[in-house]
Amino acid sequence: EVQLVESGGGLVQPGRSLKLSCAASGFTFSNHYMAWVRQAPKKGLEWVATISTSGSRTYYPDSVKGRFTISRDNAKSSLYLQMNSLKSEDTATYYCARPDNNRFDYWGQGVMVTVSS
Amino acid sequence: DIVMTQSPFSLAVSEGEMVTINCKPSQSLLSSGNQKNYLAWYQQKPGQSPKLLIYYASTRQSGVPDRFIGSGSGTDFTLTISDVQAEDLADYYCLQHYSYPLTFGSGTKLEIK
């Protein structure tokens, strides 16, 4: 059974940093692209980042490019999202997701990030 | 960027009725290489993570009831839910996975009368 478990969320002040983690199991992690998707409170879904199997290619929307960095450790079956220069508009539930041809077929339960002073 | 225009914002129906949700991308999602439309539909029940219902515009994900039907091509797509059940109470989103940046529709809230 595919499982994706996020951790690392919490309350952080504007301008500070936070790193999210996602522990994957139930599939061969190194064979799959991985991604992060977020959802602001009472709002819709927004794709945040995607990383290739080896980690050599990464993709971001303009809203987070230059501030967020997606990475992975295939030996640990883990995915990460380093978030720097956080803004109030980054407040959201962050989901770890597994893409298949860029559609997300498995999702974690999500982790909440609140950016507030 | 491909803008996904989704409608309606919300709708309320009684059990047993049929609903239709629309999604119109700002450019075609049809790949000339494999003739597939890179459009997916998701269901998000209250307090839960999104769940993949439909991909390639009309292919149901394993385990999804056949009352969920995806259709359309190019720049005009529809999710039809026939014989709506109380358990279908949820938000529904379309996603274009044709090109980066990947973009979602704004969502449709389905309420059961």
Whether A107 sits inside 8 A of B100 (CB atoms) is no
Residues making up chain A, counted from first to last: 117
Token pair 């969920």 in the structure block, residue: B68
- Which residue in B has a C-alpha nearest to residue A101's C-alpha? B97
Chain B residues close to A45, C-beta within 8 Å = 42, 44, 50, 93, 95, 104, 107
Token pair 């409170």 in the structure block, residue: A41
Percent of chain A at pLDDT > 90 equals 97
pLDDT exceeds cutoff 90 at A101: no
Distance separating alpha carbons of residues A89 and A75, to the nearest angstrom:
33
Taking alpha carbons only, the member of B26, B7, B102, B25 closest to residue A37 is B102
Chain B residues close to A95, C-beta within 8 Å = 49-50
Range list of β-strands (E), B9-107: 10-13, 19-25, 39-44, 51-55, 59-60, 68-73, 76-81, 90-96, 103-104
Residues A27-64 pLDDT 10s: 999 999 999 999 999 999 999 999 999 999 999 999 99
Give the pLDDT score at A34.
Answer: 98
A36 near A97, Cβ under 8 Å? yes
B67 near B83, Cβ under 8 Å? yes
Residues B33-86 pLDDT 10s: 999 999 999 999 999 999 999 999 999 999 999 999 999 999 999 999 999 999
pLDDT exceeds cutoff 90 at A96: yes
Give the pLDDT score at A31.
Answer: 97
pLDDT exceeds cutoff 90 at A70: yes
Backbone angles phi, psi at B87, to 5 degrees: -70, -10
3-state secondary structure of A62: coil
Distance separating alpha carbons of residues A3 and B52, to the nearest angstrom:
15
Q: Confidence class of residue A102 from pLDDT cuts 50, 70 and 90?
A: confident
Q: Confidence class of residue A18 from pLDDT cuts 50, 70 and 90?
A: very high
Residues B95-105 pLDDT 10s: 999 999 999 99
Whether A108 sits inside 8 A of B102 (CB atoms) is no
Find the range with the poorest average confidence among A7-16, A26-35, A70-79, A100-109: A100-109
- Which residue in A has a C-alpha nearest to residue B1's C-alpha? A61
Residues making up chain B, counted from first to last: 113
